Structure 1
Amino acid sequence: MTTGFSVLLPVYAGDSAPFLRRAFASATVEQELRPSEVVIVQDGPVPAALSRALEELAASDVCDVRVVRIEHNGGLARALDVGLGQCRHEIVARADADDISLPRRFAVQVPLVAGGLDLVGSALVEFGDDEDVTGETRVLPTTSDAIARYARFADPFNHPTVVYRRSAVERAGGYEPLHLMEDYLLFARMIASGAAVANVAEPLVKYRTGAGSYSRRGGLTLLRSEVALQRRLRADGFTTRTQLARNLVVRGGYRLLPVAVRRWGYRALLLARLRRRAVGSPA
Structure 2
Amino acid sequence: MAEAFSLLIPVYRGDDPAHVTRAFASSVGEQTRRPDEVVLVQDGPVGAALAAAIDELESTSPVPVVRVVLPTNVGLAQALTRGLDRCSHEIVARIDADDVSLPRRFELQVPLVEAGLDLVGSGMEEFADDEDVVVGTRVPRTGQAAIESYARFHDPFSHPTVVYRRSAVASAGGYVPMGLMEDYWLFVRMLQAGARVDNVVEPLVRYRVGEGAYARRGGWAQWRTEVALQRAMRRVGFTTPVQYVRNVVVRGVYRFVPERVRKVAYRALIARGGR
- TM-score of the aligned structures, taking structure 1 as reference length: 0.95
Matched residue SS, 2:31: coil
RMSD: 1.1
Alpha-carbon distance in structure 2 between the residues aligned to 1:20 and 1:69: 16
Alpha-carbon distance in structure 2 between the residues aligned to 1:237 and 1:60: 48
Alpha-carbon distance in structure 2 between the residues aligned to 1:10 and 1:223: 26
Alpha-carbon distance in structure 2 between the residues aligned to 1:59 and 1:66: 11
Q: Does 1:250 align with 2:250?
A: yes
Aligned AA (2:225):
S
Alpha-carbon distance in structure 1 between the residues aligned to 2:164 and 2:112: 10
Matched residue SS, 1:120: strand
- Counterpart position of 1:42: 42
- Counterpart position of 1:224: 224
- Counterpart position of 2:12: 12
For residues 91-148 of structure 1, the C-alpha deviation after alignment (integer angstroms, 9 at most, x for no partner) is: 0000110000000000000000011000000000001100111111101101010000
* Structure 1 residue 261, shift from structure 2 partner: 1.4
Alpha-carbon distance in structure 2 between the residues aligned to 1:37 and 1:270: 32
* Structure 1 residue 267, shift from structure 2 partner: 2.5
Alpha-carbon distance in structure 2 between the residues aligned to 1:150 and 1:137: 18
* Structure 1 residue 269, shift from structure 2 partner: 1.6
Alpha-carbon distance in structure 1 between the residues aligned to 2:141 and 2:218: 24
* Structure 1 residue 47, shift from structure 2 partner: 1.0
Q: Does 1:94 align with 2:99?
A: no
Aligned AA (1:218):
G
Alpha-carbon distance in structure 2 between the residues aligned to 1:48 and 1:108: 36
**Residues 2 and 111, structure 2, Cα contact 8 Å, conserved in 1:** no
- Counterpart position of 1:139: 139
For residues 229-269 of structure 1, the C-alpha deviation after alignment (integer angstroms, 9 at most, x for no partner) is: 00000001111110100000000110111111111211332
Matches within 5 A, 1:15-164: 15-164=15-164
**Residues 32 and 103, structure 2, Cα contact 8 Å, conserved in 1:** yes
- Counterpart position of 1:280: none
> Segments of 4+ in structure 1 off by > 3 A?
none
Alpha-carbon distance in structure 2 between the residues aligned to 1:99 and 1:88: 23
For residues 162-210 of structure 1, the C-alpha deviation after alignment (integer angstroms, 9 at most, x for no partner) is: 0000000000000001111000000000000000000000000000001
Matched residue SS, 1:59: helix
The alignment-based identity, stated in percent, is: 60
**Residues 7 and 39, structure 2, Cα contact 8 Å, conserved in 1:** yes
Matched residue SS, 2:60: coil
Q: Which runs of 5+ in 2 are unaligned?
A: none
Alpha-carbon distance in structure 2 between the residues aligned to 1:195 and 1:258: 37
Aligned AA (2:146):
A
Q: How many residues align?
A: 275
Alpha-carbon distance in structure 2 between the residues aligned to 1:187 and 1:194: 11
- TM-score of the aligned structures, taking structure 2 as reference length: 0.98
Alpha-carbon distance in structure 2 between the residues aligned to 1:206 and 1:61: 21
Matched residue SS, 1:140: coil
Alpha-carbon distance in structure 2 between the residues aligned to 1:136 and 1:115: 31
Alpha-carbon distance in structure 1 between the residues aligned to 2:263 and 2:82: 34
- Counterpart position of 1:179: 179
Aligned AA (1:241):
P
